[in-house]
Amino acid sequence: MKATIMYAAGDVRVESVPDPRIVSENDAIVRITRACICGSDLWPYKEMERTPGGRRMGHEFIGIVEERGKSVRSVKKGDLVVAPFAWSDGTCEFCQQGLHTSCLHGGFWGGAELDGGQGEAVRCPQADGTLVRLPVGPDDELMPSLLTLSDVMGTGHHGAVCARVTDGSRLVVIGDGAVGLCAVIAAKRLGAEQIILMGRHADRIALAKAFGATDIVSERGEDGTTRVRELTGGLGAHSVIECVGTKQAMVTAATVVRAGGAIGRLGVPHYEGIPTTAKNFFDNVTVSGGPAPARAYIEELMPDILAGRIEPGRVFDRVIGLDDVPDGYRAMNDREAIKVMIAF
Amino acid sequence: MKATIMYAAGDVRVESVPDPRIVSENDAIVRITRACICGSDLWPYKEMERTPGGRRMGHEFIGIVEERGKSVRSVKKGDLVVAPFAWSDGTCEFCQQGLHTSCLHGGFWGGAELDGGQGEAVRCPQADGTLVRLPVGPDDELMPSLLTLSDVMGTGHHGAVCARVTDGSRLVVIGDGAVGLCAVIAAKRLGAEQIILMGRHADRIALAKAFGATDIVSERGEDGTTRVRELTGGLGAHSVIECVGTKQAMVTAATVVRAGGAIGRLGVPHYEGIPTTAKNFFDNVTVSGGPAPARAYIEELMPDILAGRIEPGRVFDRVIGLDDVPDGYRAMNDREAIKVMIAF
């Protein structure tokens, strides 16, 4: 089969690799029908050192079960399924508390050992704990939105949960990428009264407004903080969702949050420690977040997608075939595209 | 009247100062009957630069209302009251959410402008929001425990709340000072199953065990972390309460917490940012805490003290008169005493 391999920063190729086969009785083989490129894939695209043998890429996909190991019960051949970006057994103490990303017997797609989502098929370990059946056909018009359950919509929701968004919250979302946009959807869904998006790209801002953003702040640094303070009655935001991962973004989060407020970190940290301020301690600010246990949120979010109440699939503004994945990386990295879907 | 003034690190004096008088109609004058020295007073005792005019000290006290401003309703002359370490109006949006330390019209005792608790009397601003009547006489044997409601018991409880201690939690308390010991009490009260105290002073360890600590770890650094990991089945603690404020203590907190766990910070930070690890992000660790809204917890904790279910007053191992306050600072700083009470 064909699959995407990254060899170094900027060096992404689609190449022939061995077809996946059942290894454990908990495995399933999934033939992929939709996948996508993640904002987090852009970090290695910018930074990865040359790696002999490369690294298989992709962690967001929908597909059809082709074969299952002896002990798999929850899915069967022919089922259309969505996979979260971490696979997990669904039964360990972390899974039971809803933290599937820390599963004692789980892991992540791709790398050197396992298939990635940006390929024609994957071997899925822990299939019973990982895969969730979709109650629609593989060409349903809801495919883009259902695909976001694998990562970005669950991640945006996780940020809103970690930032303790609730009825009436005043919220700041830092970053206008696909995760930031999904955080806007999630926050509105949870009842936020004011949703301030910090971003500066016209197309993304338009989508954020369509999703429920009430205010846009395009200034950065101190000017951005000043503007948010003005918009929040001088006190700052109850909740901040940080969707970038840079030190500057975290410093902004730390300066726009109000006393007693919470910051939900989603961006993969490219900084040491947590760059909060001394005032954040005296203000009793909470910092939470991390990789979303997307698996935990699928059942909660899917009904809203099926009913059309949320449309996170609108973050996809480009659809490509597998052979065009290298150009898809380039387009996202150049901000030509918000998020790229791969259709098989 | 006489009051405690700190002029510089190590330079604490008891001197004559003007008697307090009603300034605002919300004020009350409280004649102090019990007060104490706080672990946080030791930071300026170690570090304060020489300050002309000095800084009035003390923020924990019980006393008798001597006079009240025109609009004060909740306390009257002759009432025995306890004051939390921050005064607050009790009505602003932060007070309503239980974050009295961020009161929009509140503040802290002592400094250059206001009386401190380590003196014969104080002017109490926002008396209705701040003072809480005690249903016992001024010489009741429960005075030491009731005095801890002004700070250390509420602070220990705050740490347990921020660290999300609940039924069955495995908890680490870092630091064996009075706050750490009260954190042990608070955690046991909230149902923690395992309470690991990290400390190395025999008298404090004995008290911690009496309060409910199940394990003691006296090693520091990597050895301490290894020991905690062993004691917690290899996974680390659900909850960590950090009661020191040094970078080393926070690094220990960051390395003993389990995935999905929470760190409650109580020690005044003597470090930049929050020195967590990259792993803490991938583990979805939450960092919370700050100065305790002690006022918010008084009604919750007082019944347990009155009923004898908790005995935080046992942290006081020395009682002195006002004139001996300078030696009380020295004794606490030299770790001769855990916590010093001042009886008037």
| CA–CA min distance B267, chain A (Å) | 10
Calculate helix-pair angle for A294-306, A152-162, nearest 10 degrees.
110
| Interchain proximity A259–B102, CB inside 8 Å | yes
What are the residues whose beta carbons fall under 8 Å from the beta carbon of A113, sequence distance 6 or more? none
| Interchain proximity A289–B284, CB inside 8 Å | yes
Superfamily of domain A153-289, CATH level 4: NAD(P)-binding Rossmann-like Domain (3.40.50.720)
Pick A273's closest partner by Cβ from B94, B162, B275: B275
Between CA A323 and CA A344 the distance in angstroms is 10
* Chain B residues lying within 8 Å of A260, measured CB to CB: 94, 97, 99, 102
A14, A4 in Cβ contact below 8 A? yes
Polymer length in residues for chain B: 344
List the single residue in A with minimal CA-CA distance to B250.
Answer: A273
* Chain A residues lying within 8 Å of B286, measured CB to CB: 162, 286-288
**Among A126, A155, A28, A82, residue whose Cα is nearest residue A302:** A82
* Chain A residues lying within 8 Å of B278, measured CB to CB: 269
Pick B274's closest partner by Cβ from A97, A276, A289: A276
Pick B265's closest partner by Cβ from A281, A288, A291: A281
Between CA B201 and CA B225 the distance in angstroms is 18
Class at the top of the CATH hierarchy for domain A2-151+293-343: alpha beta
Place of tokens 């969730």: A132
Query: What is the band of A146 on the pLDDT scale with cuts at 50, 70, 90?
Result: very high
Distances B63 to A173, A205, B133, B154, B343 between C-alpha atoms, Å: 47, 58, 10, 18, 11
Cα torsion at B272, B276, B282, B283 (round to 10°)?
A: -140
Distances A302 to A135, A154, A320, B33, B233 between C-alpha atoms, Å: 10, 10, 25, 62, 36
**Among B108, B107, B148, B125, residue whose Cα is nearest residue B22:** B125
The predicted-structure confidence for A274-285, as pLDDT tens digits, reads as follows 999 999 999 999
**Among A60, A86, A75, A63, residue whose Cα is nearest residue A150:** A60
Segment (H or E) for A216: strand A215-217
What are the residues whose beta carbons fall under 8 Å from the beta carbon of A265, sequence distance 6 or more? A159, A162, A242, A250, A253, A274, A287, A288, A289, A290, B281
* The pLDDT of residue A165: 98
* Chain B residues lying within 8 Å of A265, measured CB to CB: 281
The predicted-structure confidence for A209-218, as pLDDT tens digits, reads as follows 999 999 999 9
For β-strands B55-56 and A339-343, DSSP reports them as: unpaired
Segment (H or E) for A31: strand A28-36
* The pLDDT of residue A10: 97
Choose the mutation target among B105, B274, B279, B297 for the interface with A, i.e. most A CBs under 10 Å.
Answer: B274
Q: What is the mean pLDDT of residues A246-256?
A: 96
Q: What is the mean pLDDT of residues B28-33?
A: 98
* Chain A residues lying within 8 Å of B102, measured CB to CB: 259-260, 283-284
Query: What is the band of A53 on the pLDDT scale with cuts at 50, 70, 90?
Result: very high
Average model confidence (pLDDT) across chain B: 97
List the single residue in B with minimal CA-CA distance to A267.
Answer: B281
- If one counts every other C-beta atom within 10 angstroms of the C-beta of residue B1, the result is 15
A205, A176 in Cβ contact below 8 A? yes
Q: Residues of B numbered 108-137 whose beta carbons fall under 8 angstroms of chain A's beta carbons: which are they?
A: none
| CA–CA min distance A203, chain B (Å) | 30
B217, B197 in Cβ contact below 8 A? yes
Proportion of chain A above pLDDT 70, given as a percent: 100
* The pLDDT of residue B159: 98
CB-based contact, A28 to chain B, within 8 Å: no
Whether the domain at B2-151+293-343 and the domain at B153-289 fall into the same CATH topology: no
CB pairs under 8 A between A and B: 85
Pick A290's closest partner by Cβ from B265, B275, B282: B282
Strand partners, B2: B16
* Chain B residues lying within 8 Å of A251, measured CB to CB: none
| CA–CA min distance A292, chain B (Å) | 8
| Interchain proximity A273–B269, CB inside 8 Å | no
Q: Residues of A numbered 151-170 whose beta carbons fall under 8 angstroms of chain B's beta carbons: which are they?
A: 162
A162, A289 in Cβ contact below 8 A? yes
As given in the structure block, the two tokens for residue A31 are 């033939």
Domain residue ranges of chain B, discontinuous segments joined by +: 2-151+293-343, 153-289
* The pLDDT of residue A110: 95
* The pLDDT of residue A187: 98
Distances B233 to A88, A139, B222, B258 between C-alpha atoms, Å: 20, 47, 17, 11
Indicate the DSSP class of residue A247. Answer: H
* The pLDDT of residue A159: 98
Between CA B91 and CA B97 the distance in angstroms is 10
For β-strands A107-108 and A339-343, DSSP reports them as: unpaired
- If one counts every other C-beta atom within 10 angstroms of the C-beta of residue A240, the result is 34
What is the three-state SS of B35-64? EECCHHHHHHHHHCCCCCCCEECCCCEEEE
* Chain A residues lying within 8 Å of B96, measured CB to CB: none
Pick A282's closest partner by Cβ from B272, B288, B291: B291
- The reported pTM is 0.96
| Interchain proximity B286–A287, CB inside 8 Å | yes
* The pLDDT of residue A179: 97
